[in-house]
Amino acid sequence: MNLTKQVKERILATKLVKQIFQYEKIDSTMRIARRMVEDDSEMASGTMIITESQEAGYGRFGREWFSPDGGLYFTIILGEIYKPSINLVTGLSVAELIERRFRRQTKLSWPNDILVEGKKISGILAETTNDATLIGIGFNSFISNLIPDELCNRATSIPMDTSRKIVFLSDLIIELENNYSIFKKFEFEPFLPRFNKRMAYIGEEIQIISGKKSFRGTVLGVDEQGAIIIDDGREIRNLNSAEISAHDFKTQKNS
For ligand BTN, the binding residues (CB under 6 A) are 28-30, 54, 57-60, 63, 65, 73-75, 112-113, 123-125, 136-138
| Least Cβ distance, residue 233 to ligand BTN (angstroms) | 29
- Looking at beta carbons only, is 27 or 224 nearer to ligand BTN? 27
- Looking at beta carbons only, is 218 or 241 nearer to ligand BTN? 241
| Least Cβ distance, residue 135 to ligand BTN (angstroms) | 9
| Least Cβ distance, residue 106 to ligand BTN (angstroms) | 15
- Looking at beta carbons only, is 1 or 192 nearer to ligand BTN? 1
Give CA–CA dist 130/243, Å, rounded: 20
| Least Cβ distance, residue 65 to ligand BTN (angstroms) | 4
- Looking at beta carbons only, is 27 or 177 nearer to ligand BTN? 27
| Least Cβ distance, residue 155 to ligand BTN (angstroms) | 10
- Looking at beta carbons only, is 40 or 64 nearer to ligand BTN? 64
